[in-house]
Structure 1
């Protein structure tokens, strides 16, 4: 029987004890199923959300608001 190995999102260390693995998030996949994000039990409260999607969303919103064709510019 093979054991599933998990990597801690906080410290990038291998989680060797199955009872020490705590699921902290679920990331969707672009083409297929996603995956569960794991952390050590003592690191679970330290895991922060991934900053990349927030940064991308901020860039999209800034581009929409500063565009010459923005909706708020058409009203004036």
Structure 2
């Protein structure tokens, strides 16, 4: 049995070599535990991530403008 497919956040390609997979973050889920963000070892430094606090404030502002 194989494990879940890991996809690089930078290039959106499947990571086929488990030794090449690097955890670069975690995305929280609204109705569950969320998921781990993976990247190829060479792409780990290229992945753009937003700090959780910044993202929370940004979504609050956007939500207030939509109403």
CA distance in 1, matches of 2:28, 2:59: 16
4+ long deviations beyond 6 Å: none
Residue 56 of structure 1: aligned partner? 59
Secondary structure class of the residue paired with 1:14: coil
Which ranges in structure 1 are unaligned for 5 or more consecutive residues?
A: 64-76
Q: CA deviation at 1:16?
A: 0.4
The RMSD of aligned alpha carbons is 2.2
The two structures have a TM-score, normalised by structure 2, of: 0.73
Point out which structure has higher relative CO (alpha carbons under 8 A, 6+ apart): 2
Residue 30 of structure 2: aligned partner? 30
Which ranges in structure 2 are unaligned for 5 or more consecutive residues?
A: none
Q: CA deviation at 1:55?
A: 4.2
Q: CA deviation at 1:3?
A: 2.8
Per-residue CA distance 1:19-69 (angstroms, 9 max, x = gap): 11000001111011111000000000000114xx36435x35xx7xxxxxx
Secondary structure class of the residue paired with 2:29: coil
Residue 3 of structure 2: aligned partner? 3
